[in-house]
Structure 1
Amino acid sequence: MTLYHFGNCVALVYVPYYLAYKQSGLSEYGAFWKCVQAGMIYMFTQLIKMLVLATFFPDNVGEGTGSLIAEFFKDTVDLADLVGLYFVLNGIPGKGHSKVLTAGIGWATAELILSRALLLWIGARGAEFDWIYIQKCLESNVLLVQHIATATLIWLWSRHNLNKNLKTIITLLLILTCYKPLLFDSLTHILQLGVWLGLVIKAAFALVYGLFTLTIYASVADIIGIY
């Protein structure tokens, strides 16, 4: 039973990433090492964030307004992820769709390995079944969609021939992504949401976020021909 549960978790968390890589056609572009490069930049970015957080935001803040302000500034550090993805996109040659897919999948895979692999190896192989590992696996699939959408928005934002009003909208969406954890945590605390309902809300946000990003990308592609 333990091995069966672990196998289910591994399949649930890794198979969607594999299918996204294969079915998107990235394997035909030889994008594997570019995905690895994206993962390396992800790890370097997280190291920088950890150093900044440890230096300026020690984990000793109490409850209340001070804690909320501290969390706001901590989430501000997540702007480094946008910078990291920007450098990833600049290092990938090719057309728009291959660039954003390579950057998004590589970034999401690196986050998956660093934040989920050890958890599943230690926890999902335990003697007792726990739904938390299924939840973490499903959340990783939600993050895959979100990271690809974020990479797409950053790539669109970096284009010089983009409409200024549209660029403002994209900038606001990217900022919203950075402060999403704070918004979800506040919403969960205020509404006393359970773990599963919170996961559904995150999935709904990622779906809307992804569809909105796809709409922007398609409209811009039709106008200036960036496929």
Structure 2
Amino acid sequence: MLVLATFFPASDVNGFDLIPELMKASADIFDVMGLHAVIFYLMAGKSEIRFLAVGIGWAFAHSVASRLVGFWVGARATAFHWKYIQMALNSNIDLIFYVAMAALVWLFTRNDLRSGMKRMVTLLIALCVFHEFIEQASVVYLDLRSWTLLGAKATFTAGLAVGTLIAYSSLGTHLTQYRS
């Protein structure tokens, strides 16, 4: 947040400025660097378990920091509103997103990943870094709101998770090709 406030001050123009928003979204690279530091320097154990634990922990911290107070105060009210269901679904989508992002960070550092998969992992990490920008651009340019935005975010995250699964499943095929 300090980096965003220092280097990317809020503009006075109402609306969506493409270049400043893209630069603000690039500050999410610090999330990727933080995930890398936690996975490789702060966690002990098997690496396959470390990225899963770090991804779940990162998603939990993100949900607590961004949604807990609003959900706790609003959901306890006597009147039901669909936005709390959307907040809960959004937290679940974020859980899948951050586990996939942690897996991609772990996959990027693997030496036994094929070069084609390395490029795919790099592209998926870039999509992870700019996912907020993609979401904001889809709100402005595609006029996605409420449930359609949630569906688009779920589709984006599912595609990211499937790409991560494809890259992860390619690890075993590389070893068996040279064995026989």
Same fold per TM (> 0.5)?
A: yes
* Partner AA of 2:46 in structure 1: K
The offset of 1:222, in angstroms, is: 4.1
CA–CA distance in 2 between the matches of 1:154 and 1:191? 30
How much does 1:64 deviate? Answer: 5.6
Separation in 2 of the partners of 1:153 and 1:144? 14
Q: 1:178–1:61: structure 2 CA closer, same or farther, 3 Å change rule?
A: farther
2:162 aligns to what?
Answer: 211
What does residue 118 of structure 2 align with?
Answer: 167
Match in the other structure for 2:29: 79
C-alpha distance in 1 between matches for 2:173 and 2:93: 28
- Say which SS state the counterpart of residue 78 (structure 1) adopts: helix
CA offset digits 1:152-204 (Å, max 9, x no partner): 11101011232233212211110111111212222222222221011011111
Aligned amino acid, residue 148 of structure 2: L
CA distance in 2, matches of 1:129, 1:75: 34
* Residue 96 (structure 1) aligns with: 47
Unaligned ranges ≥5, structure 2: none
Does the 8 Å contact 1:100/1:151 carry over to 2?
yes
Once the two structures are superposed, the pairs formed by residues 1-227 of structure 1 within 5 Å of their partners are 50-63=1-14, 67-90=17-40, 91-224=42-175
- List alignment gaps of at least 5 residues for structure 1: 1-49
Shift of residue 218, structure 1, vs aligned partner = 1.4
Residue 129 of structure 1 and its aligned partner are, at CA, apart by: 2.3
Contact 1:103 1:151 survives alignment (8 Å): yes
- CA distance in structure 2 between the aligned counterparts of 1:170 and 1:85, rounded to whole angstroms: 15
Q: What is the number of residues matched between the two proteins?
A: 175
Shift of 1:82: 0.2
TM-score (norm 2): 0.89
Per the TM alignment, residue 79 of structure 1 is displaced from its structure 2 partner at its CA by 0.4
Give distance in 1, aligned partners of 2:27 and 2:14.
20
User: Partner amino acid for 2:10?
Assistant: D
Displacement of 1:93 in angstroms is 2.6
State the superposition RMSD in angstroms.
1.8
